[in-house]
Structure 1
């Protein structure tokens, strides 16, 4: 395995800091809200993933695992019951009462932000392994209210700022960018066909953790991949272009990774994804769907890389229109084979707080499990409600 020191000063003999490395990545199957995983709470969704990551880590790095216990569990979550689901899931998973937990809410970027937070703690000098990721049970999310009046979501922005819901914002973005329904449908069908082909080849098998009798992603291979079925979806807004076919399904699921110090993975000879750079940015809250674009460009600049250097992109596909708008802004065609090469959230589903972590799990499978060589670059990114974007640049190390 090779390693790229992040910083070294030979004059002052400052310590060399080695990038944190993801050495294991797992997720649950993803199911549409109210269906296959409808009765599974966030802690019960996340716990099997945590246990699987712990087993994978022990198998890959037995000596390192014995001497470096899990320092923390950091999970993204948007609409759960509160009470720090990461800590509850860690206890349920049997990690031990001494392992703490922290829950991150950066909306649809929560799972990726949690992974960045865990890696940053290691980079800062706490050289203990961490489990990070995200979880969402839209099916069991509590009803929230103010003075007894229920509401669907908390504000993404204060009074005086635009505060559209993500679906409304995606419709506005499609109109502003002139993205036709036909183009959106074509992108959504591409995602579904890629996912169906990937599932048939067993591309998801190694990353999946069976849960409550559900072993496969619920939507993969659904009839919406058929062009005639896609055309039958009605617009979500009068005169609009967004439909149920070119928008994601709100879903339940969990995903996570095991992050270790780069030195430990090098010593063990374990391949993984080294976090080279990340960016979290703000953008116009009226058009939050484009947030991933400036985040990707900034993260790549911090890593000293460009779009052409990237072998695999995993961008959370909340809506076809939103994903196309992001791709246009970073100079990538709709059908670029590097983007969500096994399908994305349009095909698999979008468990809000978990989706950013699902993107990293998918990168791990596409690059590390597939045998991509050392130095291969991957990017995970998500646009976030309220006008934000989060992105991370990873490099294969072996």
Structure 2
């Protein structure tokens, strides 16, 4: 592992409330979701913004990062780029920004993600012939034709079955995620990280009445014999998040505190078991940094599906109760391209804003359609 003093530092992190598709944020497009977050982070920044890096999928095109940056009032001379690594896009943006600031680049960058499922364009394949109609599709292929390319829910069912993760355990995990998120909201633990948008100042999805018994009533959502349901899986959501990050030299010279990014890694895995991507990413991260998992204080693996995240936790030997201690995406929602940045915002709150226990190390991981995974290790300074 390189000298920690040379590692980039996340000095601030914010997000919007996470809205349910068709809910309070239904008329806010992807750039407009992100712009207030970028504007507030830029307002707090001690210097000019050098670059804006944003993840977005199934959006309007036209480089939403640039549009959001201009809407946010960031100077027109600041370049912006939009990345697509499916649901890992927000974390990929942070990974790319960290990589730039680990080299010759200096100063401050904004990195994050935005997703407006409510306003995403309708998409169609061209007609197959002169008399054929266009064919609407809801996702592009994640793989080439040699692979099965199952939908993410079906892939989660297959992974859960292979790893022996039963329905009862999944429902109990999902109910706990909701209970934790509701308790955290009631305690005001999300308040400082949320920038209100369109009059919404809280996450729409968490349900105070969810119990394992209630979740047991839901039918399988993706296959008749499957165990993933609408209740023990994440939602379809709208939201945005971003971090303000600078190189280690700038942080040291200005006495800035936050989350030092010790390492960020992306890997590939079996394209037909995309939910497994967290495991090889974390294993490689541990191998590169030498930081063992029992030293991690706060773990945030994205809860796309209860069975999927439980499979990854088991595969890495991590107690499931350690994951997402204040509730994860099953409760808060999964605004695809924004989620990775939401995870880093959540780590920032737990390790910097509200750290009363001396916790120091945080680990975020996300599995990605097409068979990929990303993991980021941070240290509070």
Query: What's the CA shift for 1:175?
Result: 1.4
The answer for the alignment partner of 2:131 in structure 1 is: none
Name which of 202, 214, 236 aligns with 2:188: 202
Query: What's the CA shift for 1:333?
Result: 1.9
The answer for the alignment partner of 1:241 in structure 2 is: 227
- Cα shift readout 1:61-118 (whole Å, capped 9, x = no counterpart): x3xx1xxx21111011111111110001000111021111111111111101100101
Name which of 355, 366, 372 aligns with 1:382: 366
The answer for the alignment partner of 1:31 in structure 2 is: 19
Q: How many residues end up aligned between the 2 structures?
A: 373
The answer for the alignment partner of 1:218 in structure 2 is: 204
CA contact (8 A) 2:351 2:359 kept: no
The answer for the alignment partner of 2:52 in structure 1 is: 73
Question: In the aligned structure 1, how far is the partner of 2:202 from the partner of 2:357?
Answer: 29
The answer for the alignment partner of 1:105 in structure 2 is: 84
Question: In the aligned structure 2, how far is the partner of 1:375 from the partner of 1:33?
Answer: 35
Query: What's the CA shift for 1:210?
Result: 0.5
Query: What's the CA shift for 1:160?
Result: 1.2
Name which of 346, 349, 355 aligns with 1:365: 349
Query: What's the CA shift for 1:17?
Result: 6.6
The answer for the alignment partner of 2:6 in structure 1 is: 18
The aligned runs of 1:51-90 (5 Å cut-off) are: 51-57=39-45, 62=46, 65=47, 69-90=48-69
Question: In the aligned structure 2, how far is the partner of 1:219 from the partner of 1:158?
Answer: 34
Structure 1: 5+ residue stretches without partners: 8-15
Question: In the aligned structure 2, how far is the partner of 1:387 from the partner of 1:375?
Answer: 32
3-state SS in 1 of match to 2:375: strand
Task: Supply the RMSD in Å over aligned alpha carbons.
Answer: 1.5
3-state SS in 2 of match to 1:335: helix
3-state SS in 1 of match to 2:2: strand
TM-score, with normalisation over the residues of structure 1? 0.91
The aligned runs of 1:263-342 (5 Å cut-off) are: 263-336=249-322, 339-342=323-326
Of 260-269 and 271-280, the range deviating more from structure 2: 260-269
CA 1:342–1:116: 2 relative to 1, 3 Å: same
Question: In the aligned structure 2, how far is the partner of 1:22 from the partner of 1:372?
Answer: 19
Question: In the aligned structure 1, how far is the partner of 2:99 from the partner of 2:196?
Answer: 30
CA contact (8 A) 1:372 1:396 kept: no
The answer for the alignment partner of 1:13 in structure 2 is: none
Are 1:255 and 2:251 an aligned pair?
A: no
Query: What's the CA shift for 1:257?
Result: 0.2
Name which of 96, 105, 116 aligns with 1:137: 116
Question: In the aligned structure 1, how far is the partner of 2:371 from the partner of 2:122?
Answer: 24
Query: What's the CA shift for 1:264?
Result: 2.0
Are 1:167 and 2:153 an aligned pair?
A: yes
Query: Where do 4+ consecutive residues of structure 1 move more than 4 Å?
Result: 372-375
- Cα shift readout 1:217-269 (whole Å, capped 9, x = no counterpart): 0012343x233321221111212211111011010000000001222222332
The answer for the alignment partner of 1:12 in structure 2 is: none
CA contact (8 A) 2:11 2:259 kept: yes
The answer for the alignment partner of 2:129 in structure 1 is: none
CA contact (8 A) 1:278 1:302 kept: no
Query: What's the CA shift for 1:303?
Result: 1.6
CA contact (8 A) 2:5 2:249 kept: no
Question: In the aligned structure 2, how far is the partner of 1:205 from the partner of 1:56?
Answer: 17
The answer for the alignment partner of 2:2 in structure 1 is: 6
Question: In the aligned structure 2, how far is the partner of 1:373 from the partner of 1:264?
Answer: 27
The answer for the alignment partner of 1:354 in structure 2 is: 338
- Cα shift readout 1:29-88 (whole Å, capped 9, x = no counterpart): 00111111111000110000001111222xxxx3xx1xxx21111011111111110001
Query: What's the CA shift for 1:152?
Result: 1.1
Query: What's the CA shift for 1:301?
Result: 2.0
3-state SS in 1 of match to 2:87: helix
